[in-house]
Amino acid sequence: MKFERFIFLSVLVLAVFQVFINAQTVVPNQVRFTTPDAPWTLVIDGQAVDIKTAQVKPDNKSAYFLVYPNKDGLNISLFIEPVDKCKTSDECRDFVLNSGNPAWGKFQDLAKARIGEFSYFEFYRPEAMGQPLQMQDMYAQYVGSGYWVDLHISKVDYKKTDHLLFENLVKSVKFVPKTNAASDKNLSAIQAAVEKWLAVWDAGKCKESFAALSPISRTKISEKLWVDYCGSAHIGLGKLKSRKVIASTTVTSLPPTPDRPGATVRYQSVFENSPVVEFVSLVLEKDGSWTVANYLTQ
């Protein structure tokens, strides 16, 4: 009886410990951008958003990203590219402003200033694209380690009290050296889960890749549909030559499953016959493990 009681208590302690460990998996709202050759990753904290567009130039140095509007209605896009046309954040700000853009049309209330390491200019447009959108635009420039960031933030139906939203977003930006990536436990766990799943996908093991999907995904698509999709997705690409992370997001709560955090990872990948951007989404299971929920190429 004493031995059985010991076993029961041990199992109970392990169960409680596991619940405690899972409870410590704190997933922030965060979005990350980089290029394969950039020495750092641009991180924006506090943003529960997804990435609409990710485009990388063949040189692996330059990229463009467009984010879906955030909960405050801010539209966010950015370029990352090597510095050549300007050398400082002030110079790059003035270069963008002086170059102009026909899409701006007529604007007013032009202002220039700095927020931390960013230099920016901003203006107000009562009309944009022929519509009375009442839009505020901010172009914020950063230069560091030989690279230039051109961050564009805009908002329709703008009110002066909204300016704090622009300021706080720029202040939330940080640059994390890629050498420090291993210290981010969430990111390491997410990428490890993706790489394990991609090894199965790359091998053309379609049924196995379906079995390794999150249970949530397997309730929404049949194995046959997935196997058909898997087979067609591999046609024409050829063997994988390289794969590097260019962007990722984490959210504390997925809209369809509010009790589950989620993540996405985008890779700039080069296959024998074509370069593509690979998109992988994940969900944090209740046992604390990350599982792949979907895979697409863009």
What does the pLDDT look like over 225-260, one tens digit per residue? 999 999 999 998 999 999 999 999 999 988 777 788
φ/ψ of 218, rounded to 5, equals -70, -15
The CATH number that domain 184-297 falls under is: 3.10.450.100
* pLDDT digit string, tens, across residues 39-91: 999 999 999 999 999 999 999 999 999 999 999 999 999 999 999 989 999 99
Give the C-alpha distances (Å, rounded to integers) separating 83 from 36, 64, 88, 98, 138. Answer: 16, 15, 9, 17, 20
Q: What is the mean pLDDT of residues 17-34?
A: 68
Q: What is the pLDDT of residue 259?
A: 81
Q: What is the pLDDT of residue 182?
A: 65
Give the C-alpha distances (Å, rounded to integers) separating 164 from 20, 114, 160, 213. Answer: 37, 14, 8, 41
Return the number of other C-beta atoms located less than 10 Å from residue 46's C-beta.
14
Select from 297, 267, 286, 298 the least CA-distant residue to 214. 286
Task: Read off the pLDDT band of 109 (50, 70, 90).
Answer: very high
Within 8 A by CB and 6+ apart from 158, the residues are 124, 134, 135, 136
Residue with tokens 């950063």: 142
279-282 LR contacts (CB < 8 Å, sep 24+): 280/194, 280/197, 280/198, 282/190, 282/193, 282/194, 282/214
* Cα gap 212→105, rounded to integer Å: 51
Q: What is the pLDDT of residue 6?
A: 34
Question: Looking at per-residue confidence, does 129 or 45 come out higher?
Answer: 45
Q: Tell me: pLDDT of 203 over 70.
A: yes
Q: Tell me: pLDDT of 16 over 80.
A: no
* pLDDT digit string, tens, across residues 168-191: 999 999 999 998 766 688 899 999
Residues of the chain with CATH 3.40.1000: 53-173
Q: What is the mean pLDDT of residues 106-132?
A: 96
Strand partners, 184: none
Within 8 A by CB and 6+ apart from 165, the residues are 72, 74, 155
* Cα gap 60→45, rounded to integer Å: 25
Q: What is the pLDDT of residue 184?
A: 81
* pLDDT digit string, tens, across residues 130-152: 899 999 999 999 999 999 999 99
Residues of the chain with CATH 3.10.450.100: 184-297
Q: What is the pLDDT of residue 254?
A: 82
Within 8 A by CB and 6+ apart from 170, the residues are 115, 116, 118, 120, 138, 140, 151, 153
Q: What is the pLDDT of residue 8?
A: 35
Give one word for 194, left, alpha or beta, with left for phi > 0 and alpha for psi -120 to 50: alpha
* Average pLDDT value over all residues in the chain: 90
CATH number belonging to the domain at 53-173, selected among 3.40.1000, 3.30.70, 2.60.40, 1.10.860: 3.40.1000
Q: What is the mean pLDDT of residues 278-289?
A: 95
DSSP SS3 for 185: helix
Strand partners, 40: 177
Q: What is the mean pLDDT of residues 105-122?
A: 97
